[in-house]
Amino acid sequence: MIASVGTASQDAVNGLEPFVDLSFSVQGKTLPADHGYGLYAALVHFIPEIRLHPEIGVLTIPGFADKQGKILLTEQSCLRIRVPISKIPLVYRLAGKRISIGKHEIQIGIPKVYTLRPSERLRARIVTIKGKDYTQPEAFLEAAKRQITKLGISGEVSIPVDREGFPSRKTIKIQRFTVVGFTTEVSGLNDEDSIKLQQSGIGGKRHMGCGFFLPIKGV
């Protein structure tokens, strides 16, 4: 049985089917710090149909960085997958599975279901936009703004700075290739646009943790 958490009901936004987040508990020791592609490949092994649904978002599993290319998993580590409600049975098939990401094994538990909740400010850890020009922050930001506008969303798009004061640049490795992206924040959102952005995301590689927007903690 799926445990459900959250009280806010979510109606369809601009014709989009309502989405929810499935949060699967995870048991294991370590994972590669950059495991977006490896996780996607492991999920496709059990659910090949995921490839046919680009609207499904898969967030990478959080943990503590060991500064040696791995993360240490904790009791709070979870696998979070954002899906249209009609796709819950498809993704639920992961419950109870043991999957391998490279040399690392994790046990996936039973998911809890969370409704999406609006927030005036959202952040994606990494957004990637296809094209060589978009590996530079200025061009990337303009492209991100165009995608937000195309979705009919009104909000202020920005790239937060890292500890050194530079635009927060992130990368994701896909087989032999390295894809460059940036942490992206959108603020000044009304409730409807906030839900729409969480459902639609921007950029590519949604199956690998990119373009997955979450409310900023404390807001």
Give the model confidence (pLDDT) of 20-72 as tens digits. 999 999 999 999 999 999 999 999 999 999 999 999 999 999 999 988 899 99
pLDDT, one tens digit per residue, over 136-167 is 999 999 999 999 999 999 999 999 999 999 99
Q: DSSP labels for 33-69?
A: SS-HHHHHHHHHHH-GGGGG-TT-EEEPPP-EE-SSS
Q: Enumerate domains of the chain plus CATH numbers.
A: 3-115 (3.30.70.1890), 122-215 (3.30.70)
Q: Which residue shows structure tokens 């109870």?
A: 96
Q: Tell me the C-alpha distance between 121 and 194, whole Å.
A: 8
CA angle 13, 187, 148 (to 5 degrees): 55
pLDDT, one tens digit per residue, over 198-216 is 999 999 999 999 999 999 9
Q: For the whole model, what pTM was predicted? A: 0.90
Cα atoms in the 13 Å half-sphere on the side-chain side of 79? 30
Q: What is the mean pLDDT of the chain?
A: 92
More reliable by pLDDT, 139 or 175: 139
